[in-house]
Amino acid sequence: KNQVEQSPQSLIILEGKNCTLQCNYTVSPFSNLRWYKQDTGRGPVSLTIMTFSENTKSNGRYTATLDADTKQSSLHITASQLSDSASYICVVSDRGSTLGRLYFGRGTQLTVWP
Amino acid sequence: DTGVSQDPRHKITKRGQNVTFRCDPISEHNRLYWYRQTLGQGPEFLTYFQNEAQLEKSRLLSDRFSAERPKGSFSTLEIQRTEQGDSAMYLCASSTQAGQNTDTQYFGPGTRLTVL
């Protein structure tokens, strides 16, 4: 069964600190992995996308890693800001259909305190 | 604003009523998706259009749900005889066929449905 599991479910950190969010998946065949940021009451916004051959990608203070062998990904946030408070969703696409079906994790709810 | 827009943003209805949501994708995007998201969960795929053709529907899309994209631009999602279990955020996303399986989906703000 194709699944995407994220941990932790929620996380609270102080402003300025770093944090790392985890994503494990069983989606096969694998096409790509994306991290989205979703603010409360808003639609998700894409942060990074990585294909099989990529093992790291950065977008400002966000750095995503991918280990396709162990089927794990992480999202590292550096020098957190209050505006980073949001849900971070890991999304994996399969290669088994022309659609490239997306499998969503439940998200990690990050809260940054001043 | 040239992003994906959805209307209405919020809808409260009584059980048994019909509701219709609208999604306007980014103008040059030929792919349009509908998702449903409940509290604390990630979005769940409902259906997908390429231009005006509805190419895939999830098993989640019961016969009370119908989606259209008549001219390959905006799309509507109708729920008939709403049930309390339909209460959720309904998200629309669009993308362009830049490359198979690597197109980024841009999401709208969602329509939050509450069925009383």
Three-state secondary structure readout of chain B: CCCCEEECCEEEECCCCCEEEEEECCCCCCEEEEEEECCCCCCEEEEEEECCEEEEECCCCCCCEEEECCCCCCEEEEECCCCHHHCEEEEEEEECCCCCCCCCCEECCCEEEEEC
Average pLDDT, stretch B16-26? 97
- What residues of chain B have any CB closer than 8 angstroms to a CB in chain A? 4, 40-45, 48, 55-56, 91, 93, 100-110, 112
Look at B45 and A113; give whichever has higher pLDDT: A113
Question: Measured between CB atoms, does A97 come within 8 Å of chain B?
Answer: yes
Contact A43 B109 (CB under 8 A): yes
- What pLDDT is recorded for position A93? 86
B107 vs A contacts (CB less than 8 Å): 36, 43-45
B41 vs A contacts (CB less than 8 Å): 106-107
Average pLDDT, stretch B20-35? 93
Q: B3 with B105: CB under 8 angstroms? A: no
CB interface of A with B, residues 36-95, below 8 Å: 36, 41-46, 49, 51, 89, 91, 93, 95
- Rounded Cα distance, B45 and B90, in Å: 10
Q: What would the pLDDT profile of B32-85 be if each residue is shown by its tens digit?
A: 999 999 988 889 889 989 899 998 888 878 899 999 999 889 999 999 999 999
Give SS3 for A84: helix
Chains A, B: CB contacts within 8 A come to 57
pLDDT exceeds 70 at position B88: yes
Percent of chain A with pLDDT over 70: 95
B interface test, pick of A9, A38, A103 with most B CB neighbours within 10 Å: A38
Percent of chain A with pLDDT over 90: 72
Q: What would the pLDDT profile of A84-98 be if each residue is shown by its tens digit?
A: 999 999 999 886 555
Note the Cα B32 to chain centre separation in Å: 8
Shortest distance between the Cα of B87 and any Cα of chain A, in A, equals 14
